[in-house]
Amino acid sequence: MESTGNYELDHIMLTREAVRERVSEIAASISDEYRGEELIFTGVLKGAVIFMSDLVRSIDLSVDTRMDFIAVSSYGNEATSSGAVKLIKDMDTNIEGKNVIMVEDIMDTGLTLSYLREMLAARGPATFKTCVLLEKPDRKKIDSTMDYTGFAIPDKFVVGYGLDYAGKWRNLPDIWCVTKR
């Protein structure tokens, strides 16, 4: 994916209805697993905001649900391939001894998520799981799998439902493929 050039919306890959249905299925599984316990959802800004806000509203009220956020940015091209990310905003919560689910919009190579997972898991949470809305199996460079995945998608650049292109299109209710104009 080039970082310059003009892209336009091509077609819808996942409708809002499909996303809504899958999000409530994931929420039901999480609710079953954490009933009666405290659970801290940690969203990776900014892409995960919309997914996470829908997800937490579908979590059963018997789960003591908390929200926190972390913000990262990739280093230059070379460092991106190592998955090293710069921490822009850390969590406010001390997660030692807590149940944590890290929430991301999309896993491409998986390097960002595995870097973050290592960083947060080192803080000694009681349990640590990962939840990603989209994953691109063809692009995956890491071995580990996510605990909760919404959809496996083909190697296409997508926007909408929190995902952007150069800051645009996060607010689209459906998930779209973009194409070069």
Applying CB under 6 A, the residues found at the interface with ligand 5GP are 47, 83, 104-113, 157-159, 163-165
Distance of CA 65 to the CA centre of its chain: 17
Residue 111 burial (CB count, 10 A): 20
* Rounded (10°) CA dihedral 70, 145, 24, 17: 100
| Shorter beta-carbon distance to ligand 5GP: residue 63 or 163 | 163
Least distance CB 124 / ligand 5GP (angstroms): 24
Distance of CA 119 to the CA centre of its chain: 16
Give how far the C-alpha of residue 128 lies from the chain's centroid of Cα atoms, to the nearest Å.
15
Written as six digits, the tokens of 38 are: 């405290």
Quick one: tokens of 172?
Answer: 């689209």
Name the residue nearer to ligand 5GP (CB basis): 96 or 143.
Answer: 143
Shortest Å distance, C-beta 126 to ligand 5GP = 26
**Residue 49: CA count within 13 A, CB half-sphere:** 12
Q: Is 64 noted as a catalytic residue in this protein? A: no
Q: Which is nearer to ligand 5GP, 63 or 159 (CB)?
A: 159
CB of 163 to ligand 5GP, least distance (A): 4
Write down the catalytic residue from 10, 64, 68, 108.
Answer: 108
Q: Give the residue numbers annotated as catalytic, written as ranges.
A: 108
